[in-house]
Amino acid sequence: MEAAGVNVLGMGLLVTVLPFALKATPMAAVSWMLWPLGLLLLVGGAGLLFVARKKRALSVPISALDGESDVIRQDQTPAKRSPKGTSSAVAASTPARPAEVPAAAEPEGRPDRWSPAVFDMIEWRRFEAVVEALFKQAGFETKSQSHGADGGVDIWLYSRNQPGAPVSLVQCKHWQGKKVGVDKIRELRGVMAAQNVKRGQFATTSTFTADAMAFASENGVNLLSVDKLLQLIASRTPEQQAELLTVALEGEYWRPTCVNCGVKMVDRVPRNGGAPFWGCPSFPKCKTTLPMRSA
């Protein structure tokens, strides 16, 4: 079907451009009569290619684990950097030696363009990498702190003319279904004051409360909600957008990274029964866990 789509598309392109090529010849009038047919062939060929691509995407094998998307996504709420960020429900049901389960597979239907769904699929570390790449494309030098204590800052931005002094600080929150409150913006503002930096950026896969927006406007903090981030990405060239998507989907982009150890977490289930969850492979040295997000 894909080959047929290419052929039809090629015929449509030929018939469509023919009138312009023959405009100074006696065949020009005839070629213009065929021009609508060329448009129909173009549309038909594009449709065949679209259907062929969809069929090929659906042919990807689904994980033998259980085939449901709720075991391959994580819920990053509340804030990922708190050492007390372990879900109380998961922690209460987790025995001293949780059992590992078969590794969760890549989500079905790998994205080939930017949309809100991309931010839903990727884990928090991939989100931070995308935000950092966006600022690099804007001409900033960057320094990231990917895990552990960071004073409320994930990315430090530097001007290429003044590489030694940060010009802005960036905080990232990969949250779903929960608005970022004014307390998080105040924390960033406090770090800005301590570092004598006048500008800050707060990026999230969610949105902001009204109080957070008002405080940010008065204190030099630029808010980047999921919609604003998608607008920025759309303003980039196609090549830059593809580069950002490659950064987002690097490696096991759906599997969360341990906020304390900086390594990919593993699939676990409580030995006494219960829902699967993400756990740090360094257990029992590191007891960080995250619930697997529901579909």
- Specify the higher pLDDT residue, 126 or 28: 126
- Specify if 273 maps to a domain: yes
Confidence of residue 71 (pLDDT cuts 50, 70, 90): very low
What is the CATH number for 203?
3.40.1350.10
Are 22 and 137 members of one domain? no
Q: Would strands 199-204 and 221-224 be described as parallel, antiparallel, or unpaired? A: parallel
As beta bridge partners, residue 278 has 267, 290
Q: Confidence class of residue 217 from pLDDT cuts 50, 70 and 90?
A: very high
Q: Dihedral (C-alpha) 236, 239, 240, 246: value to the nearest 10 degrees?
A: 140
Residue 259 in this model has a pLDDT that exceeds 80: yes
Q: Write down the pLDDT at residue 176.
A: 82
Same structural domain, 146 and 77: no
Residue 44 lies in a domain: yes
Q: Examine the domain organization and report whether 121 and 244 are in the same domain.
A: yes
* 255-260: average pLDDT: 88
At 79 the pLDDT is 38
pLDDT at 108 over 50: yes
Q: What percent of the chain stands above pLDDT 70?
A: 66
Q: Is 63 within a domain?
A: no
Residue 225 forms part of a structural domain:
yes
> Are residues 135 and 199 located together in one domain of the fold?
yes
Residue 293 is assigned to a structural domain of this protein: yes
* 203 in a structural domain: yes
My answer on whether 80 and 40 are in the same domain is no
Residues 226 and 267 in one domain: no
Query: Do 122 and 240 lie in a common domain?
Result: yes
Comparing C-alpha atoms, which of 206, 245, 236 is closest to residue 223?
206
- Pick the closest to residue 254 from 225, 280, 293 (CA basis): 293
The pLDDT of 63-67, averaged and rounded, is 31
In a shared domain, residues 184 and 124: yes
Q: How far apart are CA 104 and CA 70, in angstroms?
A: 10
Say whether both 96 and 174 belong to one domain.
no
**Which of 81-90, 98-107, 284-293 bottoms out in mean pLDDT, i.e. has the lowest?**
81-90
279 close to 265: Cβ distance less than 8 angstroms:
yes
Do both 81 and 183 map to the same domain? no
Predicted confidence at residue 261, as pLDDT, reads 85
Number of neighbours of residue 146 by Cβ within 10 angstroms: 15
For residues 69 and 170, what is the distance between their CA atoms, to the nearest angstrom?
31
Domain that holds residue 184: 116-248
- For 112-165, the pLDDT digits (tens) are 999 999 999 999 999 999 999 999 999 999 998 755 444 567 899 999 888 788
Residue 284, preceding peptide bond in cis (omega within 30° of 0): yes
**Chain-wide mean pLDDT for the chain?**
77
Say yes or no to pLDDT of 200 above 70: yes
Report residue 122 as tokens: 């990727």
Q: What is the pLDDT of residue 81?
A: 40
Same domain, 149 and 268: no
Give the mean model confidence (pLDDT) for residues 279-292.
86
Q: Give the pLDDT mean for 74-101.
A: 41
Q: Which of 45-54, 74-83, 249-258 tops mean pLDDT?
A: 249-258
What local confidence, expressed as pLDDT, does residue 199 receive?
95
123 contacts 176 by C-beta, under 8 angstroms = no
pLDDT at 40: 76
Report how many domains make up the chain. Answer: 3
Between 68 and 8, the more confident residue is: 8
